[in-house]
Amino acid sequence: MKSRRKDERFIRRLETEFTGDNKNYRGISSDLSLNGLFIRTQHAFEPDTLVDIVIHLPDVASVRLKGKVRRSIKTPIISIKNGMGIEIIENDPQYIAFIKTVYPEAGKATTADDPQLKTSFHKHADEPLRPAPPPPEFTIIACPRCGIKNKVNNAKLSLGPKCGKCGFLLTT
């Protein structure tokens, strides 16, 4: 499954304080990148909530970021980490430097001479769009047993697809 993330992320557990909707909480940040992070907490905010974040980096007092909650996870299942995925909308130069110590290639396209580009990661209108991958080719195959039409990806025809209704082997 292809990730929807813009940048490569790395796991670094750091003490984090966050404020949103006039409520202050603590959590642990992980999955850090230039454009986002995940905060592990039992107090996740709703998506689209604006959040002020203070991350306590090693060898630096603290950095202040502003972000927007993109996803929120609240579950009693122990194996799934509760928290929220944050898109960073206002960055801190010390945070950028910290990220670049792990990924030196990070943000080369966004660190032009303009100081605004170094601290904010909004997409600019003049940036070219990435071409979309070509859509997969499909073939419609009627099941010889029940007659139901099945949409089968051409790349998977050699794997012996089965009917979605009755499970009978489809032949081309």
pLDDT in tens, 8-38: 677 888 899 999 888 899 999 888 888 899 9
pLDDT in tens, 73-126: 887 776 677 899 999 999 888 888 888 887 666 555 444 444 444 444 444 455
Per the DSSP assignment, residues forming a β-bridge with 62 are none
The answer to whether residue 32 sits within a structural domain is: yes
160 and 91, same domain (yes or no): no
82 and 161, same domain (yes or no): no
The most distant pair of C-alpha atoms in the chain lies apart, rounded to whole Å, by 69
Question: Tell me, what's the pLDDT at 120?
Answer: 44
104 and 47, same domain (yes or no): yes
**Domain of residue 142, CATH code:** 2.30.30.380
Question: Tell me, what's the pLDDT at 33?
Answer: 86
Task: State which residues form the domain around 140.
Answer: 134-172
Query: How far apart are alpha carbons 90 and 1 in whole angstroms?
Result: 29
In percent, the amount of the chain with pLDDT more than 70 equals 76
State the SS3 of 78-141: CCCCCEEEEEEEECCHHHHHHHHHHCCCCCCCCCCCCHHHHHCCCCCCCCCCCCCCCCCCEEEE
Mean pLDDT of the chain: 79
88 and 158, same domain (yes or no): no
Question: Tell me, what's the pLDDT at 87?
Answer: 92
85 and 147, same domain (yes or no): no
Q: Average of pLDDT values for 47-70?
A: 89
Question: Tell me, what's the pLDDT at 155?
Answer: 82
Query: What is the DSSP code (8-state) at residue 58?
Result: T
Residue 128: pLDDT band with limits 50, 70, 90: low
